[in-house]
Structure 1
Amino acid sequence: MDRRNWIKNGILLGAMAKMGLPMAWSQDAGAYRKVERPIPRSKPNKIEVIEFFWYGCPHCFHFEPALNAWVKKLPADVYFHRIPVAWPSKRVNFAGHQKLYFTLEAMGLVDQYHDKVFDAMHVQKKRLDSDAEIFDLAQSFGLNREQFANTFKSFSVNAKCKQAVDLATAYGVDGVPTLGIDGKFTTSASVAGSEENALRVASALIERERQASKT
């Protein structure tokens, strides 16, 4: 281990201790994973945090309240955003659900309807297996069906979807929900042991990146 990595790991362990995490939770203990090739930040002056998710995932649905509370407390130097995943499947409409999110984003409606989509799938048990079902859902929200459909099919939304697939691949995401931290690390409940621990580890990694940038 070179001096720079020794310093960075010391920063992380110090942050974990400060936040009440067991000192044994190091990279070797599996509390987080390193990204194979670091990914540039979307915003150069911000520490980037990404939630990779899928609307149909029950774990993502149950993670939302804790995640939302955590996001509200993030410092100003952290840029948080969501990326919906889409894996190849003949049974599950991953691509449609991904486009649903980016359509809401393009229309400036994520804050208003993101949680409602989760409720539709997990409380109302709507599978959203087709574009038509997704357009029906948008219409039930009071949105203009034609406008929503046109945005859903637009070049810009399709481009966002391709970028999302590439980003999830670069991060090595193989399950959701997963948190990506600053293009260098990922953590999740399955890796860290629980949702609460995943958020604690993410906070410690954010602090590590903040302190490392000062050295």
Structure 2
Amino acid sequence: MLFTALMAFNSQAQVLWEEGTHYRVIADEASKEKNITEFFSFWCPHCYNFEPIVAEIKKKKSNDVKFVKVHVNFMRSAGPDVQDMASQAMMVGRALNKDVEVNGAIFSHIHRDRKLIASKEDLQAILARTGITAEQFDKAWDSFAVKGMMGKNAKLINEFRRHVSGVPNFIVNGKYQATFQRGMSADDMVDLIVWLSELD
């Protein structure tokens, strides 16, 4: 009975999500470790509105699937230097285990408060709202850990740049790229990403 139910579920998923319509295959082989990589920008309004969907993806994915958030620096709304500083501020939050709070604060500063970011000092003030002191900020900003995370962020941008022309964009297991269609609900998008993460 259980086997029949699982077969029915898998059959529905295969019909529901079709290659060429809901996702593209961009590599011959999947990565060794299962992962969901979200390419996004703090300056992107769609990325800001996508944050609740991202939270649901994190909740529904399997524990063995790693979620990686990659901040891009090729948006036209700000210069690449400012976008890189925002990436570095995000890594400061990640290093201090406050990445969700920091990301929310930066998004809110740009989209809710309609304020600009022009300097490291602006970002320090934004992170202060999450409880990160100026001393913690400065220490983490130039730390080996943050520099390492910045390097990984840049490496992923370079690796998938030819596939990522806009954001938000999701690459799953290094092999599949989600392509959201008009009319898909938030639940549909979550289910598609989670389903892709289980594929080899």
Task: Compute the TM-score of the two structures, normalised by the length of structure 2.
Answer: 0.78
RMSD: 2.7
**Aligned-partner SS, 1:142:** coil
**Residue type of the partner of 1:200?**
D
Q: Quick one: distance in 1 between partners of 2:11 and 2:39?
A: 23
| Partner residue, 1:72 | 59
Q: Evaluate the alpha carbon distance shift between residue 67 and residue 15 of structure 1 in structure 2; reply closer, same or farther with a 3 A threshold.
A: farther
Contact map agreement 2:38 2:70 (CA 8 A) in 1: yes
Q: 1:121 aligns with which of 110, 120, 136?
A: 110
Counterparts in 2 of 1:87-166, with a 5 A limit? 87=74, 91-92=78-79, 93-166=82-155
- Cα 1:106–1:179 change in 2 (3 A) is same
Looking at structure 1, the residues matched to 195 and 109 of structure 2 have their Cα atoms a distance apart, in angstroms, of: 34
In structure 2, the gaps of 5 or more residues are 1-8
1:28 to 20, 32, 39: 20
Aligned counterpart in structure 1 of residue 12 of structure 2, from 5, 14, 17: 17
Q: Is the 8 A contact 1:19 1:200 kept in 2?
A: no
Cα distance in 2 for partners of 1:119, 1:88 equals: 18
- Supply the distance in 1 between the matched residues of 2:11 and 2:55 (Cα, whole angstroms): 21
CA 181–146 in structure 1, closer or farther in 2 if over 3 Å, else same:
same
| Residue 6 of structure 1: aligned partner | none
Question: Does residue 181 of structure 2 align to residue 184 of structure 1?
Answer: no
Report if aligned partners of 1:181, 1:202 keep a CA contact under 8 Å in 2: yes
- Which secondary structure state, in structure 1, belongs to the residue aligned with residue 171 of structure 2? strand
Residue 54 (structure 1) aligned to one of 35, 41, 58: 41
Q: How many Å separate the matches in 2 of 1:170 and 1:37? A: 15
After superposition, give the CA deviation of every residue in 1:171-209 in whole Å (9 maximum; x if it has no partner): 2322211111111112254xx434634433223322333
Q: 2:193 aligns with which of 182, 202, 206?
A: 202
Q: Deviations over 1:13-54 (max 9, x none)?
A: x74723872xxx53233x22223465744xx4xx21121111
In the superposition, relative to structure 1, how do residues 51 and 121 fare at CA in structure 2: closer, same or farther (>3 Å)?
same
Q: Tell me, in whole angstroms, the C-alpha distance in 2 between the residues paired with 1:154 and 1:37.
A: 37
Residue 110 of structure 1 aligns with an amino acid whose one-letter code is: D
| Alignment equivalent of 2:72, drawn from 66, 72, 85 | 85
When the two structures are superposed, what TM-score results if normalisation uses the length of structure 1? 0.73
The structural deviation recorded for 1:58 is: 0.7
